[in-house]
Every structure is written in structure tokens, then in C-alpha cells.
Amino acid sequence: MLPVELQALYLLRTKGVAKLESSLRSPFASKEQVTNSRPKSEQPAIVQEMVVEDFKNPIPMVISDRVRGVGSEARALLLLDGEVRAEDPISPQKPRYRLSYVPLPGDVGTHILTVKLAGSSEPLAVVSLSLKGSGSEIGESTIKIG
């Protein structure tokens, strides 16, 4: 048995939401109406919450996926609110990227993590990240959860 969280992530990653929407629509809707309901460039953001107990030794968040149709050497970039935080080279022989986001004390709050290919404006993945922390590194104003 897989945990519910992994099942939900699998459903989102395999376009299960689009399949679910199309099955819930009227059976009389044409196939063109179903396919034009959401533009392909619009991807729902994955919502992730992280709680960091110790910023001296944080557990990184790893984002990995396969890029389809890689024609030449490229770099997959992990951007935190538009700033590059990690990168991984990809090629036709190695079309899979693996990016690690290591939280810093200054990152506490809500941010957008975006994965893009270098030189492309189209995101491969978008994560809405809510980072919470506790400890002396970030001050007294944070709430300790746990």
C-alpha cells in the first residue's frame, strides 16, 4: 500500500486530474471541447510545505523528472523566486534531471520553486513552497510545530 500523499502526487504527475475532469464532464461533450478546456502550457502548481528543525543540517527537497524530446546538451535550472539555486546537465543520453533544494534561514516564508531549461521560458515544474523553521538561526518570531 502506498501512502495517500504518494498516490495523490502520482495522480497529479500522470495527468490524472485531466482524465478525471474529462470523465466528469457531460457524456455529450465533444472531444474538442474536452481537449480545449485547459491550455497545455498551464500547469497546476504543486503545493509543498517544509518544516526545518536545524538549518545547519537541513534535509533537502529533491525534484526529479524526465525531459522529453531533448535534442542537445542543456541545463535544467531550479529557480527560487527567479534566482538560480541548483542546476543539472541533461542530454539525449541522460534526459533525466535531479535537482536538490537546500533551504537557508533566509528562505522562511512562501516562495515559488520553478524548474526550467536554460534559455526557455516554459516551466517544466512549478512548486508553491511554504517553508517554516524553528531554532536560533531564524529568530523568536517563528512558531515551532511539533
For 13-37, what is each residue's pLDDT tens digit? 666 656 656 666 655 555 555 444 4
Domain of 89, CATH number, reads 2.60.40.10
Q: How many CA atoms lie within 13 A of 39 on its CB side?
A: 3
- The number of folded domains in the chain is 2
Q: Which domain holds residue 8?
A: 1-38
Tell me the per-residue pLDDT of 77-132, one tens digit each, with 9 for 90 and over.
Answer: 999 998 999 999 999 899 999 999 898 888 888 988 889 998 888 898 888 888 88
Same-domain status, 123 and 61: yes
Question: Looking at the predicted structure, is the pLDDT value of residue 40 above 50?
Answer: no
| Cβ-Cβ contacts under 8 Å for 73 (sequence gap 6 or more) | 89, 90, 91
Same-domain status, 29 and 72: no
Same-domain status, 134 and 101: yes
Same-domain status, 44 and 115: yes
Sheet containing 123-133, strands listed edge to edge, beginning at the edge strand earlier in sequence: 46-52, 123-133, 109-117, 74-80, 83-90
Same-domain status, 14 and 85: no
Question: Taking the complete model, does pTM exceed 0.75, yes or no?
Answer: no
Same-domain status, 84 and 120: yes
